[in-house]
Structure 1
Amino acid sequence: MLTRIALVVSYILYCIRFLVGPWKYFQLNATYFNEQRNLFSKLDMDARIPKQWQLEQFMDIANNNPSAYPVFMKPEWGQNSQGIVRIDNLLALQKIRQKRSPSPPFYLLQQAAPEKREFEIFVIPEKDNLQQFSVLSITETCNSGDDPLPINGIYNDHTYYTDCLGLLSLTQQQKIWSHLKQIGEFRIVRYGVRADSLESLIAGQFHVIEINLYVPMPLILLVQDVGFWQKIKFIRRSMKQLAKVTTMIPRTQAVKSVFFNKLKLAQRLKRATKNETSL
């Protein structure tokens, strides 16, 4: 909680310094906001991913069944792995469908990635060139439990994080970025990918499991081995850069009601998750 507060306060202070409204944060990636569905659509993002990095993913409607198992059932919008369930066979899928409410939130089915390791890449681009990164962190999401395919996140007590950036040269970092920047020109983003190793990630041998455009937490701030002052330094540097990027939002860009729509969706998902777990 304190980390999130530090991020927000730092961003606001730098926005004041650069004479830009901090509320414009919610317009940073607004060009990718789907106004028909009032969300950052996972299917919209999936369509942008080059084929070699895509996983089979589709809306769970009309009894359209996966071609193989396991799969992950995900809310069409959600954060922190909330509402995600792993499904290992058709029988388990049918049971979940029977008890799930027909009203929103709707769900997607995503093929499980075959790779062994999970990495999160957080990026803020240059102020005047979204094709170049200014802030980049690469964090491995690990799990101390026995489950070979865990649902990692803040709701999983076995989840922990390790910092990988120090293991990579600037050239290697640039190589990873050269792959991911093909997906879109985002002003802040966190990519979730599965790869067998850092070498595979550099070589472009991975699958994208998530693209977070709304409030992507830099997971380096959750790494226990990263010291307090290192985290403060990262927060200051990244939020200073993000405020600079915010100043570059074109005046002609259409303003979209991102915050309030996302707030409604978050509350709806929380209620749906609570109801389903009580069944």
Structure 2
Amino acid sequence: MQRPISTFAIAFAASLAAVATHAAEVKNIVIVHGALADSSGWKKATEILEKRGFNVTIVQQPITSLADDIAATNRVLAMQDGATLLVGHSYGGVVITEAGHNDKVAGLVYVAAFQPDRGESLLTLASSKPSSGMNIRETPDGEYLYLDPAAFAKDFAADLPQDETAFMAKAQVFASKQSFSAKVGDPAWKEKKSWSIVATEDRSINPDLERDMARRAGSQITEIAASHAVFISQPEKVADVIEAAARQSAN
């Protein structure tokens, strides 16, 4: 007669399966772009990562509210087959701090990004250590924010060609005030591995603030001499950090 499988045996088998899933190679990368720019700036880094064998998807979130952007990110995560590395630039760091709780997320990478703790918002963090570029403007209805086009090159992407920054200034994605003022809950970086890229010439986020947030979270830090648009001006170096994070997330 076949003996019944004990509850303990079932639980033990399930735990082994969970460990195996977590240890699986991370091949999926989901990127959440920041405010004042769209996902197109990630084209070069995406091509580099795809040549290295990764499946890359970029969230084109609306930046209408933090809740909307988290929902947009979770929709993309739901489409991933297996463990995924979640990457956020600038305001995208706020989004991945919440969306990173998704079961498919194996690790978090912050690229010149805000990395809030519980009860913090982008605005409270930015005010704690102001950046050298302070040229944010309101739309006429007072509901959205944008970067003064005349200051875009200097404040956002000083290490990019002028014709490129001129177009980016015209094509920037406005951010709702609600997105910037929304406070986060328990951050995902408290339960998952994280990495942080500090852009040492950043004028949109104070580099010292980037360092402080990363140290507080226990993130592995890489410093790159670049503007806030480090993912565009230094795509190879950014891809190197993301690749290393994906490899280490599987351990």
TM-score (norm 2): 0.26
Q: Which has the higher contact order (CA 8 A, sep 6+)?
A: 1
TM-score (norm 1): 0.24
